[in-house]
Amino acid sequence: MSNRIANAFKEKAFVAFLTAGDPSIEKSEEYIGRLIDGGADVIEIGIPFSDPIAEGPVIQAANIRSLSAGCNLSKVFGLAANVRKKYPDTAIVFLTYLNPVYKYGADKFFAKCEEIGADGIIVPDMPFEEKGEIADAAKAHGVEIISLIAPTSEDRIKRIAEQAEGYIYIVSSMGVTGMRSEIKTDIASIVEAVRKYSDRPAAVGFGINKPEQAAKYSAIADGVIVGSAIVKMIEQYGDNAGDKLYEYAKMMKNACMGG
C-alpha cells in the first residue's frame, strides 16, 4: 500500500472529492489546498469527462462546467503536480473513466501519475473482472487501483476484497452519486464481509454529506468519502468557495474522529 494512503488511514479518514477545472484549474488548486488545510486526508481529483455515467446531476454539471472552461488532461496533471509539491504527504487519487486513460495511452498515463506523485486511481466504469486491462501499467508505475464494492453478493465482495489495493471504496447505495438524506444499505455487514477478506482500509462513499453521517459511518468503517456535497458548494459559491470548503472539511473531519 502506498505510504501516503496507509498514513491517511492511521486514524479515521476524511476523503474529499472535487472535479478538476471547476470553476477553473487555478481555483481547483486553491480549493484542494483549503480542503487539505481543513483536514482532508485523501484528495480524489475527478478528471472531467463528457459521459460520466456513475455520476449524478451535481457532478455531471461540474464535468460540463470544467470542460467548457477548457480543462484537459494535461492541465489536470499540472494541477496534481502542484498539489503534490505543496502537500508532499497527502494521498492523491484520480477518479477517471477508462476512455481518457486509453486515449492518452495506459502506460503513458500511469508513467505521468508516477512522475507527479499520484497514489491511486478509481475507474467507475471498469468492472472488477476487467481490471487486468490497466493493472500491469498501473503496477509498473506504483499506482494502486482502488476497487469499488457495492451492496452485492458476499462471493463478489470476497473476490474484490482479496485483490484490493490502496483503500476499498464502499458504495453506500445503488445508483449514481449524489447527496442522500438517509442511506438504507446495511453498511456494517458489507464492512464486516470486506474485513474477512482484506486488511485494506474501507471508506464509505456515495451520498454522505452531513457530519452525523460522517460520524456514523466512520465508526463502522475506516473513513468516509464526500463528493457531491463539496461539488455543490463549489457550484453555489463559485470563485468564493474557499472558506466554506475549509470549514466544511474541518467539520467533517471532526465528525469522522467522533468529535
> pLDDT (tens digit, 9 = 90+) per residue, 152-208?
778 899 999 999 999 999 998 765 555 555 555 789 999 999 999 999 999 999 889
> What pLDDT score does 97 carry?
94
User: Which of 1 and 90 is assigned the larger pLDDT?
Assistant: 90
Mean pLDDT of 108-130: 95
Burial 16-49 (b: 16+ CB within 10 A, else e): bbbbbbbbbbebbbebbbbbbebbbbbbbbbbbb
Q: Is residue 158 part of a domain?
A: no
115 pLDDT higher than 80 = yes
Q: What is the pLDDT of residue 183?
A: 52
How many domains is the chain built from? 1
Domain-located, residue 27: yes
d(CA 5, CA 165): 10
Structural domain includes residue 13? yes
Residue 46 lies in a domain: yes
Residue 150, in any domain of the structure: no
Q: Hey, which bits of 99-200 come out as E strands?
A: 120-122, 144-145, 148-149, 168-171
- Distance CA(58)–CA(60), nearest Å, equals 6
- 8-64 per-position pLDDT tens digit: 999 999 999 999 999 999 999 999 999 999 999 999 999 999 988 878 899 999 999
Cell 457531491 locates to 228
Is 191 a domain residue? no
State residue 56's pLDDT score: 85
CATH code for the domain of 105: 3.20.20.70
Is the confidence at residue 1, as pLDDT, over 80?
no
Arithmetic mean of pLDDT over the chain: 93
Kindly report the pTM of this predicted structure.
0.95
Q: How confident is the model at residue 218 (pLDDT cuts 50, 70, 90)?
A: very high
Residue 77 domain boundaries? 3-145+211-256
| Whether the Cβ atoms of residue 30 and residue 238 lie closer than 8 Å to each other | no
Distance CA 48, CA 73 (A): 8
Residue 199 falls within a domain, yes or no? no
Percent of the chain with pLDDT over 90: 83
Structure confidence by residue, pLDDT tens digits, 232-244: 999 999 999 999 9
Give the angle 112-70-103 at the CA atoms, nearest 5°: 40
Q: Is residue 37 part of a domain?
A: yes
